[in-house]
């Protein structure tokens, strides 16, 4: 009888990094969040926004309120 193993198959074109993994990679690369970004991320986490809502809020923050 053939054994099958469950494999992770990524959907889409990439992978999603967790918060800790992203922070570790960023630290190695020497990137740090400024106070406004840390505050924004804490607020989004507290409000439990969806991924789409988080992306929209970040885009608005960096484009001066203009969404494509």
- Map out the domains of the chain as residue ranges: 34-68
In the predicted model, what is the mean pLDDT of residues 56-64? Answer: 88
Taking residue 67's Cβ as centre, other Cβ atoms within 10 Å add up to 7
48 confidence band (pLDDT: 50, 70, 90): very high
40 exposure class (CB count in 10 Å sphere: 0-12, 13-18, 19+): middle
Q: Which of 42, 1, 39, 50 is nearest to 19 (CA)?
A: 42
User: How wide is the angle at C-alpha 44 spanned by C-alphas 52 and 53, nearest 5°?
Assistant: 15
Name the more confident of 30 and 10: 30
Residue 47: predicted pLDDT: 94
Whether the predicted pLDDT of 21 surpasses 80: yes
């Amino acid at each position: 009888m053939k054994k099958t193993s469950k494999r992770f198959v990524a959907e889409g074109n990439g992978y999603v990094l967790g918060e800790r993994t992203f922070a570790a990679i960023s630290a190695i690369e020497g990137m740090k969040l400024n106070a406004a970004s840390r505050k924004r991320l804490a607020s989004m986490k507290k409000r439990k926004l969806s991924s789409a809502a988080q992306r929209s809020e970040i885009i608005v923050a960096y484009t001066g309120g203009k969404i494509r």
